[in-house]
Amino acid sequence: MAMVDNIVTGILVALIFIAAGFIFFQTQTKQNIERLEQKQMFFLHDNLEVDVDSFLLFTENDTHKDFATLISYAIYRRRDNFSVFDPLDPDKAINITKEINYTLTKMFGTGNFFLNITPEIYDIGISFILDGSDSLTAERDQLRADLVSIVTSALIGDRTILVSVYIISQDDSKCTDFATEVATLNSIGPEVQALCTVIHGDHDTGDAGEAGRCMYPTIYDEVDSFKSLYEIYPPYDFGGHNKTERAWFTFYEADWAAGTAYSIGKSDEGGMARVNLHFPMAGELSTGSAGDECYTGEDFVYSDERTLCNFCNITCIDNGVVDTDEENRSWNIVQKAINIAVDKNQVICPIFAWNANYYTPTADPAYDAAWDLWVSIYNSLYNPTPNIVEDADSSLCEAPGCACTGDRFHVGYHPECINEVKWQMQQMADDTDGIYSELATPADISTAVQNAVDTYKEPYKIVIGEYDGDREQLVYEKNIPMPVGTDFVKMYLHVYQ
């Protein structure tokens, strides 16, 4: 019996050792398998990382730029169809999304990946550049009425909004009209900052403190070097190329392109996290649609005469070409505004306000006569069946081709320039990825601005492929630096297994 007991005990001991060994090996193997799985996962992630890093280094054929650069440009410029070498040359444009899709499909296969590059917008800048003359009074009033609701509609999360109203005028009291709205916006909280500034066209106010408020370079401009850098000079350079000289005529009130350049120059650099929208509003060529002689002549007898100067002269030729002196005068400064906007990544959303309410004519007979003549030209060109009879007793109405009819309250200068003004505004919008709008009535201003704000308050995304949460997938996250500044945009690439 003792022998049996010994054997049984021995077997039990052996079994314990065997079980212990079994458990030991099983644990070891299990750990090794877990290590393998971890290593496999690491390997797959590393593999994807290598693939994606390689993808970002591959160069696109036409631009010779790598995909990391192209993606950062696309996000920065808010467009996937552009030329890297010359942002304004559509002939050299490439479609970034198409190129990325082509390459990733080649690497991972059709439907096997999902690319998501969605920057976050933290700040929005909204700037209005308004002609300070009476012709835009109704539009300014309308903007004032809608300003608070437009701004609050763009408030999302922690986003900050900077609202700037620039009124081009020599009259500093113009901003008092906006005082209530500015105060209301500033009372919302630290996320909203609003200001109204009157910007001047003269250079010799003699006060260094005023220099920063002039849209042209002045001798005091040590800070606003962009004015000289982009040559934002007045159109008339009298005597000795003295850029501080001011023309006699108050052209600057209508120089909305210089005002836009000023607004852009004063704004922070745009980028992934910041969108700056600039809304110039006008119905004339920048610097005005009147002929050059109106800016240099000093022989006007009546004060209103100079305003109506050149009504009978055609200053624009509606042929789709910038060819007259007046068209060139405007186009010159418009191009400069475009250049500074492209360089600083700003968006211009011009608003064409043709039916501007001009001020009520005075009782001055010479003024009325000139006015009637101009109204007749307007009607003969653009309103063949006028329904309002206007001051029929003017002798100037006897001029050939003139009929004294029209609605003096809903007209603008030089109707023959309408298409040229529209074209130049459209160029501004096209070259800066902005939105061009036309106002049928002043009430449309809210819709025009709201439309642009709604479009740009959302970030510009590059999304390729379909997201499928049910499929097993690896996700690779990569920070891509922006071409300007210190911002990064996060790129997420999901590769389905």
Partner 1 sequence: MRKKKGFVEILTTFFLLVVMVGVAIAFVGFNKGFLVIQHKVNDELSDFTTSHIVREKLTSCFGIVMDPDNITALKCRDDNLLEVDLLANMIHSFYINQTDHYNCKDMDWEWTAPNAIASAESEYHYYVPIRNKTHNLVCMGELTIRI
475 binds partner 1 (CB under 8 A): no
Which of 198, 182, 72, 125 lies closest to 349, judged by CA? 125
* Residues of span 106-165 touching partner 1 by CB under 8 A: 106-107
Closer Cβ to partner 1, 110 or 395, answer by number: 110
Closer Cβ to partner 1, 4 or 363, answer by number: 4
**Region of 17-25, 218-226, 291-299, 457-465 interacting with partner 1 (CB under 8 A):** 17-25
**Region of 51-59, 195-203, 292-300, 357-365 interacting with partner 1 (CB under 8 A):** 51-59
* 3-class SS string, 251-289: HHHHCHHHHHHHHHHHCCCCCCCEEEEEEEEECCCCCCC
Count of CB atoms within 10 A of residue 29's CB?
10
Closer Cβ to partner 1, 7 or 443, answer by number: 7
Binder among 16, 26, 237, 296 for partner 1 (CB under 8 A): 26
29 binds partner 1 (CB under 8 A): yes
85 binds partner 1 (CB under 8 A): no
Closer Cβ to partner 1, 481 or 485, answer by number: 481
392 binds partner 1 (CB under 8 A): no
Structure tokens at 482: 């922006």
Closer Cβ to partner 1, 38 or 441, answer by number: 38
399 binds partner 1 (CB under 8 A): no
Cα–Cα distance for residue pair 356/387, rounded to 1 Å: 18
13 binds partner 1 (CB under 8 A): no
- CA 492 to chain CA centroid, nearest Å: 27
Work out the burial of residue 430: count CB atoms within 10 Å of its CB; fewer than 13 is exposed, 13-18 middle, 19 or more buried: middle
16 binds partner 1 (CB under 8 A): no
Task: Indicate left, alpha or beta for 488 from its phi (over 0: left) and psi (-120 to 50: alpha).
Answer: beta
Compute the half-sphere exposure of residue 323: CA atoms within 13 Å on the CB side of its CA.
Answer: 6
Least separation in angstroms between CB 114 and partner 1: 18
**Region of 43-51, 128-136, 263-271, 432-440 interacting with partner 1 (CB under 8 A):** 43-51
23 binds partner 1 (CB under 8 A): no
Binder among 61, 173, 187, 387 for partner 1 (CB under 8 A): 61
> By three-state DSSP, how is residue 39 classified?
helix
8 binds partner 1 (CB under 8 A): yes
Tokens 């009425």 belong to residue: 145
Closer Cβ to partner 1, 22 or 238, answer by number: 22
Least separation in angstroms between CB 476 and partner 1: 13
Binder among 16, 35, 303, 325 for partner 1 (CB under 8 A): 35
393 binds partner 1 (CB under 8 A): no
Q: Spell out the residues 6+ positions from residue 36 whose beta carbon is closer than 8 angstroms to its own.
A: none
Cα distances from 447 to residues 142, 146, 352, 438, 452, in angstroms, run 11, 10, 13, 10, 9
Closer Cβ to partner 1, 40 or 451, answer by number: 40
46 binds partner 1 (CB under 8 A): yes
Binder among 16, 39, 440, 441 for partner 1 (CB under 8 A): 39
**Region of 46-54, 121-129, 187-195, 357-365 interacting with partner 1 (CB under 8 A):** 46-54
Closer Cβ to partner 1, 51 or 444, answer by number: 51
54 binds partner 1 (CB under 8 A): yes
223 binds partner 1 (CB under 8 A): no
* Residues of span 274-333 touching partner 1 by CB under 8 A: none
Closer Cβ to partner 1, 58 or 238, answer by number: 58
DSSP letters for 169-209: SS-GGGGGGGHHHHHHHHTS-TTEEEEEEEEBS-S--S-GG
Cα–Cα distance for residue pair 207/243, rounded to 1 Å: 17
How many residues interact with partner 1 (rule CB under 8 A)?
Answer: 38
Least separation in angstroms between CB 16 and partner 1: 11
**Region of 48-56, 76-84, 389-397, 466-474 interacting with partner 1 (CB under 8 A):** 48-56
389 binds partner 1 (CB under 8 A): no
Angle between the 256-266 and 325-343 helix axes, to the nearest 10 degrees?
Answer: 10
22 binds partner 1 (CB under 8 A): yes
Binding site for partner 1 (CB under 8 A): 1, 3-4, 7-8, 11, 14-15, 18, 21-22, 25-26, 28-29, 32-33, 35-36, 39-40, 43, 46-47, 50-51, 54-55, 57-61, 64, 66, 103, 106-107
